[in-house]
């Protein structure tokens, strides 16, 4: 159930970074996740579909990539996002 909070954080971070870089539309967000992140991709995308309405990410998708080098409490980060 923590996917809602994770999604809110992704939306906030990408919104801020897109505004700072004059990006009006984001098409893809790549999130690196560790083996023990416990993020359910389907639930994350469900929340993202709700939270991205009215933002620069309305047409975007979130793609999760496994990163086995992530250990300890930091089990995910936004690797990159693409837009124009």
pLDDT reported for residue 1: 57
* Global confidence as pTM: 0.92
Domains of the chain plus CATH, in order, are 3-83 (3.30.2320.50)
pLDDT tens readout for residues 15-43: 999 999 999 999 999 999 999 988 999 99
pLDDT tens readout for residues 65-84: 999 999 888 899 999 999 99
Please give the radius of gyration of the chain, using alpha carbons only, rounded to the nearest integer.
Answer: 12
């Amino acid at each position: 159930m923590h996917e809602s909070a994770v999604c809110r954080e992704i939306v906030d971070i990408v919104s801020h970074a897109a505004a700072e870089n004059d990006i009006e539309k984001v098409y893809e967000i790549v999130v690196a996740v560790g083996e023990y992140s416990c993020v359910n991709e389907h639930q994350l995308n469900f929340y993202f579909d709700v939270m991205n309405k009215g933002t620069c990410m309305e047409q975007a998708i979130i793609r999760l990539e496994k990163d086995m080098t992530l250990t300890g409490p930091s089990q995910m980060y936004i690797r990159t996002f693409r837009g124009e």
